[in-house]
Amino acid sequence: MFKKIEKQILEFAKDTGLTERREIVHGTLYVKLHEEKECDHFHKVIRTFYKDQINKEGGVNMYAVGDEFAFDFVPEDREAPVFSDEEYSGKEGMMPDDIDKGIWSDFAEEGLMEDLPDDVDTLLELENEMKRGK
């Protein structure tokens, strides 16, 4: 991601007043929120900013990483379906049921998550912390 765009995103994340700490590593925004329960609100706010100010055809995916949240900036067709029906109406292949289920429940329904070793999440979390110098 270009440094100018990264700077805009970091400044906006700070200006929301919802974050204690924020940084961008390899194009992913990592934030520590004042209150974890505000994660969905922050996701919506950062997504709106990104679509309005940076990339109208983009989207933002959110992931929990320990006590932080990671936000990936992706093309619109790769965005996880987590927003209201209105925002996804008319999108090819998107049905209201898809929005309620989310991506991970699709994997769980098909039994795809059962084959992963128990320590994969721990290893991924440690790798992310090492990248951030923790």
Structure tokens at 43: 């996701």
What angle, rounded to 10 degrees, do the helices at 3-15 and 39-49 form? Answer: 140
Average pLDDT, integer, range 69-84: 86
For residue 29, what is the enclosing H or E element?
strand 28-33
List the beta bridge partners of residue 26. Answer: none
Q: 57-66, 69-78, 123-132: which has the minimum mean pLDDT?
A: 123-132
Specify the pLDDT at position 62: 94
User: Per-residue pLDDT tens for 40-69?
Assistant: 999 999 999 999 999 999 999 999 998 999
C-alpha of 96 from chain center: 20
Structure tokens at 134: 């923790």
Is the confidence at residue 86, as pLDDT, over 70? no
The C-alpha angle with vertex 94 and arms to 89 and 124, in degrees rounded to 5, equals 120
